[in-house]
Amino acid sequence: MTSGTISISTNDLHCEFGEVHAVDGITFEVQTGTLFGFLGPNGAGKTTTIRLLLGLLEPSSGSAQVLGYDTRTQADQIRLHCGALLEQNGLYERLSAEENLDLFGRIWHIPAERRAQRIQELLEKMDLYERRKETVNSWSRGMKQKLAVVRTLMHNPQLVFLDEPTDGLDPVAAASLREDLVDLARQHGVTVFLTTHNLSEAEKICDQVAVINKGKLLTVGSPDELRLQKSAHSIIVVGRGFNEALLAELRTFPDVEKVELQDRHLVVYFKQETDSGNLVQFLAAKDVMIDEVRKGKASLEEAFLSLLEEQA
C-alpha cells in the first residue's frame, strides 16, 4: 500500500441490533498513510464501526473494504494486517509488560530475536522498559494505556484502529503519543483510524475527520474544512473605545445577528458572509481605536457541537 491509495472504504454500511440502528448507512473513505479521526459522542456508533471494519461484527447491509479485503469474507486477512486498541485495553494483567508483548509477538509469528528487539525498542520509547518485569495489574491506568498502544504496534501493522488512545494518559504522555502517531503516518505510511472525544487532539493531528452521531455520518473532511463549513459568519475586532451604546447600535443593523464584547474583543456575528470594510468604517466613525480585525473561525469543537445540534 502506498500513499494515495485507499485503506478503508465503506459503502452504505448498516448494523442493526433489533430496533437499534447502531450504524446507519455510513459511507466514507480513508486514504492510506493518513490520520483519520472518527468523532462522536458516547453511543454514536464509533466502536461498532471499528468492530465492523475488523470483521468482528457482520453488517446488516452495505459493505466495507479494509486494505482491499472485504470485511465479510476476508476478515482474517484484515486482522492479520491491522492492529487494534479497542474500548478496553485488553491487557493480561497477571502477566508482565514483557510477557504481554511477547504473547502478541508470538501471535503474529515474529521470530524470537526480532521479538525481543521490538519489545525493547517499543518499551524504551514509552519509558516503560525499566518496569518490564512487573505484572501489569500493579501499573497506573496511564502506563497500562501506553502499553496497550505499544502492543497494537508490535507487529508493524499497515493500519491501526485506536479507540480513545490517549484516554488516561497524562498531558506529557498524551502529547508524546500524538507525536508518535503523526510520525507513524508521515514517516512509515501507516494509516491510523482514531476515535476520540478530545476534539483539540483531533484538530492537532488528524488529516481527515468524520463526525458520527446516532449511527449516522454527519460529515467527513479535513478539520479546516469542517471548521469553515460550520463557522459562524463573524468578525472579531480587537481595540479600545467600545461602549454599550455602540453595541446597541450595532445590534439594530439588519444583517447583524449577535454582538458580544469579550475583554477588548468585539465579536459581531452576521446572518451571512459579510465584508469587514463596512464594519471597520462604522467603528472608525465612532472613534474606536482598532488594533486588529480578523474573520472568526469556529474551533473543531464548536463545529462538532453545531453539527450535533443541527441533527437534533
Partner 1 sequence: MIQDIATLIRKEWKEVVFHRGGGRQSWISMLILLGLLGVYLPYLNGTDWLQNPMALFTWAWVPLFMTIGLVTDAFAGERERHTLETLLATRLSDASILFGKIAASVLYAWSISTSCAVLAAITINVTFPNNGAFQFYAPAMFFGGLAAVLLIAILISSIGVFVSLNAATVRQAYQKLNLAIMAVWLIPFILLQTFPDKVQSLFMKVAPVLDAKLPLIIGSVFAILIVLDAMALLLAKKRFKRTRLILE
Q: In degrees, to the nearest 5, what angle opens at C-alpha 291 toward C-alphas 288 and 297?
A: 105
Cβ atoms 185, 157 nearer than 8 A: no
d(CA 87, CA 56): 14
Among 26, 67, 84, 212, which residue sits at the site for partner 1 (rule: CB under 8 A)? Answer: 84
Instruction: Write down the residue that cell numbers 443541527 correspond to.
Output: 310
80 binds partner 1 per the rule CB under 8 A: yes
260 binds partner 1 per the rule CB under 8 A: no
Among 3, 5, 20, 90, which residue sits at the site for partner 1 (rule: CB under 8 A)? Answer: 90
Among 36, 38, 69, 104, which residue sits at the site for partner 1 (rule: CB under 8 A)? Answer: 104
Q: 113-172: which residues touch partner 1 (CB under 8 A)?
A: 135
- Reference 67, options 56, 55, 85, 49; nearest CA is 55
What is the length of the chain?
Answer: 312
Q: 10-29: which residues touch partner 1 (CB under 8 A)?
A: 17
Residue 107 Cβ vs partner 1, minimum distance, rounded to whole Å: 5
Among 3, 61, 93, 311, which residue sits at the site for partner 1 (rule: CB under 8 A)? Answer: 93
Residue 69 Cβ vs partner 1, minimum distance, rounded to whole Å: 12
112 binds partner 1 per the rule CB under 8 A: no
Which range binds partner 1 by CB under 8 A, 30-38, 79-87, 172-180, 278-286?
79-87
Residue 131 Cβ vs partner 1, minimum distance, rounded to whole Å: 14
51 binds partner 1 per the rule CB under 8 A: yes
43 binds partner 1 per the rule CB under 8 A: no
Q: In degrees, to the nearest 5, what angle opens at C-alpha 110 toward C-alphas 72 and 183?
A: 80
Residue 129 Cβ vs partner 1, minimum distance, rounded to whole Å: 19
Question: Given the complex with partner 1, which of 9 and 135 has the nearer CB atom?
Answer: 135
Question: Given the complex with partner 1, which of 30 and 148 has the nearer CB atom?
Answer: 148
Q: Tell me the CB-side half-sphere exposure of residue 4, using CA atoms within 13 A.
A: 1
Residue 67 in grid coordinates: 486494505
Residue 40 Cβ vs partner 1, minimum distance, rounded to whole Å: 19
**Burial level of 4, CB count in 10 A (0-12/13-18/19+)?**
exposed
Cβ count near 147 (within 10 Å): 23
Residue 29 in grid coordinates: 473513505
- Reference 93, options 47, 144, 51; nearest CA is 144
Cβ atoms 24, 45 nearer than 8 A: yes
Which range binds partner 1 by CB under 8 A, 56-64, 164-172, 198-206, 216-224?
56-64
Question: Given the complex with partner 1, which of 48 and 208 has the nearer CB atom?
Answer: 48
87 binds partner 1 per the rule CB under 8 A: yes
90-96 own/partner pairs: CB under 8 Å, 24+ apart: 90/148, 91/136, 91/144, 91/147, 91/148, 91/151, 92/136, 93/135, 93/136, 93/137, 94/135, 94/136, 94/137, 95/135, 95/136, 96/132, 96/133, 96/134, 96/135, 96/136
Interaction mask 230-259, partner 1, x per CB under 8 A: ------------------------------
Which range binds partner 1 by CB under 8 A, 5-13, 51-59, 269-277, 293-301?
51-59
Cβ atoms 8, 30 nearer than 8 A: yes
86 binds partner 1 per the rule CB under 8 A: yes
Binding residues (CB under 8 A) for partner 1: these are 17, 51, 54-58, 76, 79-80, 84, 86-95, 99, 103-104, 106-109, 135
